[in-house]
Amino acid sequence: MALKRYHILIVIIILNSSLIMGQKESKPVSTLKVTTLSTMLVNFNGIGEWGYSALVEVDGKKILFDTGKYPETVLRNAEELGIDLSDVEDVFLSHNHRDHTGGLLTLRNELKKTNPNALIRVHVGKGIFRERLNYENNMPNVKAALEADGVKIIVYENQFELFSGVWITGPIKRIHDEKNWYEGGKIQMGPDSIEDTIPEDQSLVIETEDGFVLVSGCGHAGIVNTLEHIRLNIYDKRVYTVIGGFHLVNATDDNLKWTSSKLQDFGVSNIMGAHCTGINSLYTLRNLLDLSRSNAIVGSVGDSFDLEKGITAGPIAK
Ligand SMILES: [Zn+2]
Ligand SMILES: [Zn+2]
């Protein structure tokens, strides 16, 4: 009898721990390519802007990660790079800021001419539609226009497995005081207002045989908070590669030292730091992490990270 109870107890503990951790069994993807479509630096073809967007191609699926700032940028850059976006059905938005969401309506309007299901699903974090006091959050208008056009908007409160081995983090707990946003923003909450920490900020995570790959938009939640959130709730694995904007552009030397020591603990071996990562901050991190010009680069339009080839830098960032 005692033995039976002991077995039942073990089963309950296993079930509980997997539910609490929210982790599923390991399912590494076979192919992955991430191509930058919007950031400040550009090479021979395309337009640079203060913004971010990337195309994520994983095991035959495509996800457009953020949509750049100006309405035409991503559309024109994709054309210049010979990339067809009309078969992309899923859009991931990291947060509400226009430098990540400004191209969405133009892209949907253009691409649906070729494929009515182009950009038909938009994945966002809870809080993205909240009213901001210091600027007009355009996302409620974007939502209304998209829904009138038959586009489905899916709001995440927690982590979610979008495709096998591909996860949306959902909003991230701010364990460390990374404060990677411009201070002074306010969110209207009923009669009161609270500090705008960009609570909806979310990232995309892809599991590979070598560890996981993170794609981040502006990193307002903080890169360390984001990576710890993933390790706690999605994959307790080494961090293989980090890609995108990490909002370290104003980071002090002490902040960068702290960040690099954490990244070292996570085992980060490739960085494509685009957008608000900051050029000086990227090079400081590269030195502190003892990485080289082949595995820590400033992102530029048209560069890519591939599981086979690693980072292919643009000529300007080599
Ligand atoms: Zn932002
Ligand atoms: Zn940004």
Q: Is residue 18 part of a domain?
A: no
Distance 91 CA to ligand 1 centre (A): 17
**Averaged pLDDT of the chain:** 92
Distance 243 CA to ligand 2 centre (A): 13
Residues lining ligand 1 (ion), CB within 5 A?
Answer: 97, 218
Q: Is residue 132 part of a domain?
A: yes
* Closest ligand by atom to 39 CA: 2
Distance 6 CA to ligand 2 centre (A): 52
pLDDT at 90: 98
Instruction: Please name the helix (run of DSSP H) or strand (run of DSSP E) that holds residue 205, with its range, or none.
Output: strand 204-208
* Closest ligand by atom to 249 CA: 2
Q: Is residue 17 part of a domain?
A: no
Q: Is residue 23 part of a domain?
A: no
pLDDT at 7: 55
Tens-digit pLDDT profile for residues 231-273: 999 999 999 999 999 999 999 999 999 999 999 999 999 999 9
Q: Is residue 274 part of a domain?
A: yes
Domain CATH for 46: 3.60.15.10
Distance 235 CA to ligand 1 centre (A): 25
Residues lining ligand 2 (ion), CB within 5 A?
Answer: 99, 218
Q: Is residue 42 part of a domain?
A: yes
Rg (CA), the chain: 20
Q: Is residue 6 part of a domain?
A: no
Q: Which residue has the tokens 């309506």?
A: 105
Q: Which pTM was predicted? A: 0.92
DSSP states along 162-181: EETTEEE--S----S----S
Question: How many domains does the chain fold into?
Answer: 1
Distance, C-alpha 193 to centroid of its chain: 27
Range of the domain at 109: 28-309
Tens-digit pLDDT profile for residues 194-217: 999 999 999 999 999 999 999 999
Q: Which residue has the tokens 């020591």?
A: 261
* Amino acid, res. 194: I
Residue 165: phi, psi to the nearest 5? 80, 5
